[in-house]
Amino acid sequence: MRLFLRKLILTFTILNVAVSVQADVIIKGTIVHNVANLDIKNICFEVYQDYISPQVNQSKKILCSVDSKGYFSTTIKGYKNAFYIGTYFVSSTNKEVFALDNQVLHKPFLFEDNDSLNITINLRGKWIQFKGKGSERLNCQFQMESQSISEGGLARVRDLGNKENFYDANALESKLLDQLWVSKLTILQSYKNNFSPYIYNRVYLDSWYYQKYSHLNSLLSTYALTYPIRNKGIIDFVKTKYSNDLQIPEGINPSSEMLGQYIRYLYKSNYLKLIIGKFDLGNLTYNVSMLELFQKIKNNYSGPTRDYLFLTFFLTGGKYQNDTLAFLEEAKKLITLTAVKDELAMWLNRLNTFDKQNFTLTDIDGKTVSLNNLKGKVLVLDFWFLGCSGCLKMSPYLEKVQNYFENRDVVFVSINTDDLPRFKLGLEDGGYTNPNQLLLYTSGLVRQHPLLEYFKIYDFPTLIVIKKNGEAVSSRAPDPRLDNGLALKKMIESAF
């Protein structure tokens, strides 16, 4: 009898644990003051397990209908403990509706299992208010991320840049960002008594390192424009501001799931510092060896930080160079976290099983084209949208690569991510595409097309190379603007 009771108690204990591991999150709400009569048919909730590996972890997209009175309601199955949800509006024609600050709305916020929220979205006042269980955490994050640099401050940064005082412009922007963080931190501290130390620290690290990552990403994008005087200002500034890694704030001892934004910041920082270390006014190209970056990660970091930096190296490195996989076996021997090993395996599986998928797109005449029917040729997929300045700038460089492979089994596939009217406008513009490309669009699904979800494409332009056997070479291909197409040519050659 005692043995039976022990088994019964153990069974109930396991059941209780299972229930707590993946409890429901209930979201209800209303969109009010839609004075512009925006066509909002659905709200899309994108659920992520963590910030570190969105290319591996499939986001769960929950499409929630909005009725004529603006009311919506859904239930979301979460992950154990804490996870992230990003949000955006969708029209009746399946287009994204930009009703609030796009960056704030899209930024995934931290949720917990058992959250039960009632949300008011005020389109006229452009604010969101959360009520119910978990509301303090969500209100805090929305209020923090709604802070921004003043228009006057940004105007002064632009003014210094226009006068070619690029170091001073970067330094001023950095000071304004530091002041912005003080405002965010003041808001967070006002909620401190409402949060557990775990949640407080996690929100702190997410916001702090996201801001630093975004600044580094902005510097890197500006550097890519290869304007010597501006780049000299960036180099001098980075050497002053980012000569050493920013440390995790004193008193915070994060667990591995709290490291997401910190890892992204560290990777971007190391990459940028390698670039400026090789800067030459006569050769403004991305002359970074992935071997150097791999060795830098290997020798300068350890433990979970190094494991997740390796993961980021493989998931994002292919965007710039195509030789990252050469270091995979060595990395596997050094990685200690089973979770990271598993995520690397899933990522590789997605590359190697692309030929098992059946993605279809549509041409200007409404004809459906299956990428599977193009197997036997190397494919260069070019994703763009109307209004993408980077897409316009990359197009002539891509055309040179296309001409290089003329009369070979390579098909350059131009994939527009807009609806049909904007696809047509993009083709009429003529700057986004090149002669002899296969011109397709995402069949009216815009950026919700399964192909974009498969490769986790959020930034544009994005290139992906598919081998003749139908497998993907990497999750990203090199940008031809950075080295006049040399790395991209190398990747295409490897796909035969």
Poorest-pLDDT segment among 50-64, 242-256, 336-350: 50-64
Q: Which pLDDT score is estimated for 229?
A: 62
Q: What does 32-54 look like in DSSP terms, one character per residue?
A: E--TT-----EEEEEEES-SS-T
Poorest-pLDDT segment among 9-13, 45-49, 70-74, 278-282: 9-13
Q: Per mean pLDDT, which of 72-81, 248-257, 435-444 is the most reliable?
A: 435-444
What residues have CB less than 8 Å from 481, skipping those under 6 apart? 224, 393, 394, 397
Across residues 300-313, what is the average pLDDT? 90
Query: In the chain, what are the domains?
Result: 20-134 (2.60.40.10), 289-352 (no CATH), 354-494 (3.40.30.10)
Poorest-pLDDT segment among 310-314, 352-356, 435-439, 483-487: 483-487
pLDDT exceeds 60 at position 433 = yes
Which tens digit of pLDDT belongs to each residue from 159-210? 998 888 888 999 999 999 999 999 999 999 999 999 999 999 999 999 999 8
pLDDT exceeds 70 at position 4 = no
- Please tell me the number of Cα atoms within 13 Å of 128 on its side-chain side: 26
Listed residue (460, 463, 476) closest to 426, CA to CA: 460
Q: Which pLDDT score is estimated for 359?
A: 94
Average model confidence (pLDDT) across the chain: 84
Q: What does 136-191 look like in DSSP terms, one character per residue?
A: HHHHHHHHHHT----HHHHHHHHHHHHTT-HHHHHHHHHHHHHHHHHHHHHHHHHT
Burial label for 294, CB within 10 Å (0-12, 13-18, 19+), is buried
Q: Which pLDDT score is estimated for 184?
A: 97
